[in-house]
Structure 1
Amino acid sequence: MTAVPPRPRPVSAAVLIGALLCATAACGSGASRGSAGGSTPTGPGWEEPASYTYTLTSRTQVLAGTFRVEVRDGAVAEVVGLDEDSRRAAREVPGQAPTIGGLLERLEQARGDDAHTAEAEYAADGHPVRISLDWDENAIDDEALYLISAYQPSPGRSGVR
Structure 2
Amino acid sequence: MTAVRPRPRFVSSAALAAALLCATSACSSSTSAESAERSEQKTTWEEPAAYTYTLTSTTQVLAGTFRVKVRDGTVTEAVGTDADSRRQIQELPDQVPTIGELLKRLNQARSDNADTAEAEYAADGHPVRISLDWDKNAIDDEALYVISAYEPSAD
Matched, 1:110 2:116: no
In the other structure, the counterpart of 1:32 is 38
For 2:114, give the aligned amino acid: A
> Residues 11-66 of structure 1: CA distance to partner in whole angstroms, max 9, x if unpaired?
xxxxxxxxxxxx97xx5469732xxx5x41x2x4x211010000000000100000
Contact 1:31 1:121 (8 Å CA) reproduced? no
Gaps (5+ residues) in structure 1?
1-22
In the other structure, the counterpart of 2:151 is 152
Query: How far apart are the structure 1 equivalents of 2:93 and 2:144?
Result: 19
Query: How far apart are the structure 1 equivalents of 2:110 and 2:38?
Result: 11
Contact 1:120 1:131 (8 Å CA) reproduced? yes
In the other structure, the counterpart of 1:132 is 131
- The alignment partner of 2:107 has SS state of helix
Between the two proteins, what is the percent identity of the paired residues? 70
> Residues 58-91 of structure 1: CA distance to partner in whole angstroms, max 9, x if unpaired?
0001000000000012211000000111101101
Normalised to the residue count of structure 1, the TM-score between the two structures is 0.72
Query: How far apart are the structure 2 equivalents of 1:29 and 1:62?
Result: 28
Gaps (5+ residues) in structure 2?
1-28
For 1:123, give the aligned amino acid: A
Contact 1:31 1:122 (8 Å CA) reproduced? no
Query: How far apart are the structure 1 equivalents of 2:84 and 2:91?
Result: 10
Q: 1:116 to 1:30 in 2, by over 3 A?
A: closer
In the other structure, the counterpart of 2:74 is 75
**Greater helix fraction, Structure 1 or Structure 2:** 2
Query: How far apart are the structure 1 equivalents of 2:37 and 2:102?
Result: 16
Matched, 1:62 2:61: yes
In the other structure, the counterpart of 1:119 is 118
Larger Rg: 2
Aligned residues, how many?
125
Query: How far apart are the structure 2 equivalents of 1:53 and 1:147?
Result: 14
Normalised to the residue count of structure 2, the TM-score between the two structures is 0.75
